Structure 1
């Protein structure tokens, strides 16, 4: 079977949108599944619907990557978008043609630096994983290339500064999944500049002519569909080693000046992109609603006997419990308009019900204690502060998590596992909760100060362990009028 190229694609009779020639306007650090299933797709749509005419040059950020395959396929790959929108099932396929070529700076450092001389390029995008935005003191200016992504970027920016004689810089969109990703990237670049003694004039140019944007990206990209790849390639009539798969939902929140929207035609292409002066409320929304619901769902569902998210949301009892937890106890704690939050929550519930993604509860359960601390505790604390009472559903889920950990079938740190191994006998629940809620190494504070939390959790734990999750949850729902319509 012929591999995917423009000429071979034409032979198959493909009649979808393609941009074979276009100006290279974007540098992208990273060639992984997420960027290709999210950012490069957005650029492809802007090329089609907003006449953006932009091509992406992809830079391989680590020594091992897929640049060779990407170049052999002339930047082309097939993206499948699958999921739900309300009652509608979405199953779409698109050949993405927004990438022009890839550069491996480890084998061709000269071509990497030459990107700085292209005046058409005004945008840099990155997703080098959470471990990518780090300061590496071993990196030097003379490395070809420096090891870390921030050091590579610093070297490229200095090349741009010298070649353009202080001309325009870049809009830099960091997509790594860490807090304030753009600001952290900027700070590390500045640190490299000072360590490498690149000069005050360059430092001033960095701050004045470049925009380091913190962003929030939200799309589940499951990547290469190994189990179905041969069938898909047969149906398409070409071999594609870069097949990619993602959910149809997507959201990109970019913190920066409004002129970013003038340089990049997101709005004209009707893409789900929001440009704001503060991305943090939207990150809080995602973490508390989507991630928080996942964390609360896991112990309840696993002890009920469910195994994947989709089936859990179809379960009338657990699905109703999670919906009410989000709408009645999480949404009231988020400083955004209620109508907007409810709409986002409905999108989340659609995503949970995606018939194409088998999202395993066991996978989500990894390190649940630290996840609870980051995703759920803030909702608990804010609810208590605002309402002056306990959020019963969050407390029930929290108690369920403790029972789940007592059972021992968990994946977490040795510290967490050793803690719970002391209390496997359910008769130790009161002592367990006293020590657990007061464990500041888990929660960063003493949760025993929350009035009534230990007593309420003790009650729910005893009911779950005595009656089983099914009876305990159904009893809870009857008591609180939830999920029983």
Structure 2
């Protein structure tokens, strides 16, 4: 079977959209599954629908990477977006042709820096993981390349400044996709620190601030990557060998914080893409964290204790799905600030995403570090609901009891805290060591004592949750119910 490339597609009579030649207007730090299923997908559609006419040159951020495989296929790869949409099972296929090549900075850094000399280059996209945007003072300007991503970016920007510094409009729109708060602003801070540390001059610093736009963004798409178990069958069906097939869910949403002028530069709306350019991305981030992530954290532990193992199967259970929906629609949405229409539409998409038949999302994998997750994703909704209504949100309060019941393990090992479901099958709780030690120390407490210990642990919550009127007593009641009747019955009671 021939390898995917333009010639192979021509031989096969491929009649889909392809863009073989175009100027490289985008530099992307990151060549992994996520960016190729997200940013590169959006740019590919922009090219087709609006004549954006741009190639993306990739730069692998760490030494072992996909550069050779990408270049062997002339930047081409097949992307499958799969899931549920409007109640229908979807399995969309697209050959992505916006990528021109992939550069390895560890074998040829000059080729990366040379991209800064390209007058057509305008955009820089990046996703170097949450740990990528860090300032490491050990990085030096003379490093080839600098170890940290912000260090590499500073070197790149300085090359651009040397080439076009006197020319207005030759800076970059920088689209940071890392999963940290204010990712664009944090990246800019690091770059400015390097500019100062390396004594690159006031003019360069002024140029960074005046000519470059560091956009904080919110990204939302589950990307499942290379389908190892299906790849051979897929290639047989495609009629070509594709070693970098990518897969993700149908749902995708990107919020870019930037000036209105970007809407014309990046015509996502014209292309009908789910990308919003606005002056504040935070309400959308709050919506995602509270509804999508908050729903996950609220129901998965109770669902697991009820005998479920996979998210998708939970959506087929009237009680568990009902509990999740009541949490979202009655207790989370009323606390949020975006227009109700937008919130309801997003909430509806959550149920479809959780039903995705192509993703076996294990409840146990979602349970990882549930203490910090409950604090970040659910606690704000609890407090906002109490503040707005003066009452306790029934399902959210019960979810705290599910969390405590799930963490009520009996045996502390190197792998984690071992507990057992009512049916007797054991599971291992994974969290920070102090959290596991705390629950182990309180393993023999009765329901009231255990709830009191957890609620008053300010190291977990940065406050005393027992001060929320009626919360501790209500949680203790739910926990007693879980121990006596089971989590499923408690969920059912919450629906009344």
| Structure 1 counterpart SS, 2:396 | helix
**Could you tell me whether the CA contact under 8 Å between 2:154 and 2:195 is conserved in 1?**
yes
User: Which residue pairs with 1:78 in the alignment?
Assistant: 78
CA–CA separation in structure 1 for the residues paired with 2:228 and 2:264: 39
Query: What residue is the counterpart of 2:5 in the other structure?
Result: 5
Q: How does 1:370-385 map to 2 (within 5 A)?
A: 370-385=372-387
State the Cα deviation string for residues 205-241 of structure 1 (Å, max 9, x = none). 0000000000000001000001100100111111111
Could you tell me whether the CA contact under 8 Å between 2:56 and 2:101 is conserved in 1? yes
Alignment match, 2:429: 410
The Cα offsets for residues 156-211 of structure 1, whole Å up to 9 and x where unpaired, read as: 00000011133320000000010000000000000000000111100000000000
Per-residue deviation, residues 387-433 of structure 1 (Å, max 9, x unmatched): 111111100111011001104331111111111112333x5222212
Deviation per CA, 1:303-336, whole angstroms, max 9, x where unpaired? 1111111111111000001001100100011111
Give the SS at the match of 1:78.
Answer: strand
Match of 2:483 in 1: 465
| 2:423 corresponding residue in structure 1 | none
In structure 1, what is the Cα distance between the partners aligned to 2:27 and 2:297? 36
- Distance (whole Å) between structure 1 residues aligned to residue 19 and residue 494 of structure 2: 57
Q: Residues 151-170 of structure 1: matches in 2 within 5 Å? A: 151-167=151-167, 168-170=170-172
Name the structure 1 match of 2:202. Answer: 200
State the secondary structure of the residue aligned to 2:315: helix
- Alignment-derived partner of residue 390 in structure 2: 388
In 2, the alpha carbon distance for the partners of 1:63 and 1:166 equals 34
What is the deviation of 1:474?
2.2
1:336 maps to 338
Partner of 2:236: 234
Describe how 1:53-132 pairs up with structure 2 within 5 A.
53-132=53-132
TM-aligned CA deviation for residue 365 of structure 1: 0.4
| TM-score of the pair, normalised by structure 1 | 0.97
Q: Residue in 2 aligned with 1:14? A: 14
Contact map agreement 2:76 2:95 (CA 8 A) in 1: yes
Q: Conserved in 2, the CA contact under 8 Å of 1:423 and 1:429?
A: no
Q: Cα deviation per residue 1:238-286 (whole Å; 9 max; x = unaligned)?
A: 1111100011111100000011111112122111110111000000000
- Structure 1 residue aligned with 2:453: 435
Compute the displacement of 1:13 (Å): 2.4
Preserved CA contact (<8 Å) 1:310 1:359? yes
| Contact 2:323–2:492, Cα closer than 8 Å, also in 1 | no
Partner of 2:135: 135
> SS of 1:137's equivalent?
coil
Deviations 1:323-354 (A, max 9, x none): 01100100011111111101110011111111
Report the count of equivalent residues: 477
Distance 2:380 2:325 in 1: 18
TM-score (norm 2): 0.95
**Paired position in structure 1 for 2:416:** none
Q: Do the aligned residues in 2 keep the contact of 1:77 with 1:243 (CA within 8 Å)?
A: yes
CA distance in 2, matches of 1:230, 1:80: 15
| Offset at residue 435 of structure 1 (A) | 1.6
Hey, what's the Cα distance between the residues in 1 that align with 2:476 and 2:433?
Answer: 25
Provide the rounded CA distance (Å) in 2 between the counterparts of 1:461 and 1:432.
9
SS of residue in 1 equivalent to 2:82? strand
| SS of corresponding position for 1:253 | strand
* Structure 2 residues without counterparts, runs of 5 or longer: 410-418, 420-427
Identify which range, 179-188 or 157-166, moves more after superposition.
157-166
Q: Is the 8 A contact 2:303 2:488 kept in 1?
A: no
